Amino acid sequence: MQTAFIGDVILAEPLIANTRLQFPESNVDVLVIPATANLLQAHPDIRQLIVYDKRGRDRGLRALIRLIRTLRAARYDLALVPHRSLRSAFLVFAAGIATRVGFETSAGRWLFNVRVPYRETHEVCRNLELLAPFGARPVYQMPRVHCAETDVENAEAAIGPTGRPRVAIAPGSVWATKRWPLERFVALAEKLASDLDSQIILIGGPGDANLAAPFEQTLGDRCTNLIGKLSLRESVAALRQCAVLVSNDSAPTHLGVAAGCRVVTVFGATVPRFGFYPYGSQHRVIETERELACRPCGIHGGHRCPTGTFECMLSIPVERVFNTVKALLEETGALQPEPAADEAAE
């Protein structure tokens, strides 16, 4: 059961795959919210995807009771609950599921009969520890999003052909304090296009649509705007065709990891030690080099800077992000490295 955000569901995917490995004769069902369902609809290890619209059509006590009855009728033996909300814990308890596993920091921890420590490690590893009580030796694999053939075809049609290195940029986030300033993203995109002959691919959800205009005005045909135009799985298929993604500490970071492209994540209000940095050594994290007493200012970020300075983001220059992206493009072979000074002289 994972009824949180897009990134949380992606980071729970290795738990889904490992649950199937641990209990190969069992059926694995997954409960998610509508906004994340598309991610798992083509997953081969899932028998049934249960969609719980807790803020929409399933809002209220009557719908909650209906869901409890549905879960109870399924006669589940085991519930794994990486989400730490009271409602998630209550659901599996009320459904009468015999073995209920969750984190000891959950708001409803007393409703679990197996509680697992919530360690300060990456969320992928943390989630896999929910299988530890069963003697599991988990496979620490990259999160995956299984795309249908139509997802790939639609992404290819949207992204179009180009002989240039493709760099994806995801400038949005629900939380304002997680957003590197838009003008810096635009300046980065302009420098990547002019200095490295890159094609910029804009990625994001419908709520980010208003962020695209300055990129399009500045870059013209060097910008392919896919914000709000693709499903989640189609976005992953598009990111597979990109060498590097630059993102805030937000869902696109984990979409990029699942797609297998290199990811550069810019952190501001939040910090990597929370466990939501891009999973894998091939990715890069950029954060302020200054010691700020106010950072982190929250678990999820906020809608405004509590000190009014926004120094955690404003102290990250465009040049630093550009150099990081350039190095990754060279590593992937999408860009030929510049010759050393002595080689150039020859």
pLDDT tens-place string over residues 239-271: 999 999 999 999 999 999 999 999 999 999 999
Place of tokens 């590893």: 125
The alpha carbon of 332 is separated from its chain's Cα centroid by a whole number of angstroms, namely 22
Residue 344 lies in a domain: no
| pLDDT the model gives residue 343 | 54
Q: Is residue 127 part of a domain?
A: yes
Residues 99-152 have pLDDT tens digits of 999 999 999 999 999 999 999 999 999 999 999 999 988 888 899 999 999 999
Q: Is residue 113 part of a domain?
A: yes
**104 and 233 share a domain?**
no
**Domain co-membership, 46 together with 156:** no
Asked whether residue 141 is assigned to any structural domain, the reply reads no
Bridge partners of 167, per DSSP, are 200, 244
Calpha distance 64→86 (Å, rounded): 13
- Whole-number Å distance between alpha carbons of 156 and 151: 9
**Domain assignment of residue 139, yes or no:** no
Give all strands of the β-sheet with 114-116 in edge-to-edge order: 78-81, 99-103, 114-116
User: Is the pTM here over 0.85, yes or no?
Assistant: yes
Cα distances from 312 to residues 152, 175, 238, in angstroms, run 37, 14, 30
- Domain with 280 in it: what CATH number? 3.40.50.2000
| 70 and 170 co-located in one domain | no
pLDDT at 346: 53
The reply to whether 121 and 31 lie within a common domain is yes
Query: String of b and e for 317-338 (b: at least 16 CB within 10 Å)?
Result: ebeebbebbbbbbeeeebbeee
Model confidence over 1-13: pLDDT tens digits?
999 999 999 999 9
Segments forming the whole domain that contains residue 213 = 149-336
Tell me the residue type at 41.
Answer: Q
Q: Which residues lie below 8 Å from residue 281, measured CB to CB, with a gap of 6+? A: none
Asked if 109 contacts 98 with a C-beta cutoff of 8 angstroms, the reply is no
